[in-house]
């Protein structure tokens, strides 16, 4: 033991509902069997155009405030990822595996609409109150760590996300979406069929059954002042009590940002580089 710090604590991540699927009546969505062909590849290679230019299918983003959002704070509490397809759009080949969906779950919910035109939305909880932890599995550095995200440990997180689902459902009924005959795919998720649909309890069951991470984990080397018992690094990103060591990545964020972590991490890296250069210019 060199220094006893709260490394691994304060884990936060963006979590949302997966598989929230809506049927449409026009061939405008991304169906893998329709676009995985030579003409699509040639169109992309020769003209830089066509369906293969889509950014992973996420073609729209929106930020909304639920009734739980603090009106005095300048950020929403839900983000929508609008997707021109859903779990069924590749016929169960890859998305099912990436989301950890079992074969039996897929067959029950998505097999009846394999390769059909749909759109979906992932309501994402932007500012979770729940905190997880990462622990070492053993002294062997090659062993995978133990990761406990503790999603929805704070009941407020679930309440906010349920409201996000209801807002997304309301959006699906607007005139713009009804131009395409948008209709919720109403096959009940396994384990939720006993709950009456359209209730908060049903949406909560869906969320718990098909949760998806947006892969934005942060916070496990929290930046903070010296008097904060949970702080791992100081304002110059130096690890408390260990000389010559800094942490410069998303783990230093005390609180998860209300959006993707890519640009903030680039900012952290640029600032960290400036701090290192400043140090060596003074002490080199």
Positions marked catalytic: 216
Coil, helix or strand at residue 155: helix
Angle (nearest 5°) at CA 120 between 118 and 124: 175
In 3D space, the residue among 150, 107, 121 whose CA is nearest the CA of residue 8 turns out to be 150
- Residues 57, 85 contacting (CB under 8 angstroms): yes
Count of other CB atoms within 10 angstroms of residue 39: 9
Distances 277 to 61, 122, 229, 261, 273 between C-alpha atoms, Å: 37, 41, 29, 24, 6
Q: Helices (DSSP H) in 56-188: which residue ranges?
A: 95-98, 103-109, 155-172, 175-178
Distances 197 to 4, 71, 155 between C-alpha atoms, Å: 49, 30, 21
The label of the residue with tokens 């010559």 reads: 244
In 3D space, the residue among 162, 220, 154, 192 whose CA is nearest the CA of residue 16 turns out to be 162
94/111 Cα distance (integer angstroms): 14
Structure tokens at 87: 């779990």
Coil, helix or strand at residue 2: coil
Residues in the chain: 284
């Amino acid at each position: 033991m060199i220094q006893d710090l709260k490394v691994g604590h304060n884990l936060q991540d963006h979590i949302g509902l997966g598989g929230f699927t809506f049927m449409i009546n026009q061939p405008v969505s991304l169906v893998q069997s329709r676009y995985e062909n030579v003409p699509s590849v040639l169109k992309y290679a020769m003209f830089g155009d066509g369906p293969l230019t889509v950014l992973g299918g996420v073609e729209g983003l929106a930020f909304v405030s639920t009734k739980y959002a603090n009106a005095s704070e300048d950020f929403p509490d839900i983000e929508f990822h609008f997707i021109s397809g859903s779990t069924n759009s590749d016929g169960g080949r890859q998305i099912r595996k990436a989301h950890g969906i079992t074969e039996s779950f897929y067959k029950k919910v998505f097999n009846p609409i394999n390769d059909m035109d749909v759109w979906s939305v992932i309501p994402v909880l932007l500012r979770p109150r729940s905190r997880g932890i990462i622990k070492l599995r053993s002294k062997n550095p090659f062993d995978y760590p133990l990761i406990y995200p503790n999603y929805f440990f704070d009941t407020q997180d679930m309440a906010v996300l349920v409201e996000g689902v209801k807002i997304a459902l309301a959006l699906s009924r607007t005139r713009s979406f009804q131009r395409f005959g948008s209709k919720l795919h109403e096959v009940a998720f396994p384990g939720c069929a006993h709950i009456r649909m359209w209730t908060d309890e049903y949406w909560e069951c869906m969320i718990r059954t098909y949760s998806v991470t947006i892969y934005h984990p942060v916070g496990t080397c929290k930046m903070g002042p010296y008097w904060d018992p949970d702080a791992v690094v100081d304002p110059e990103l130096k690890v408390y009590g260990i000389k010559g060591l800094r942490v410069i990545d998303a783990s230093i964020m005390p609180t998860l940002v209300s959006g993707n972590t890519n640009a903030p991490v680039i900012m952290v890296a640029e600032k960290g580089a400036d701090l290192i250069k400043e140090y060596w210019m003074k002490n080199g």
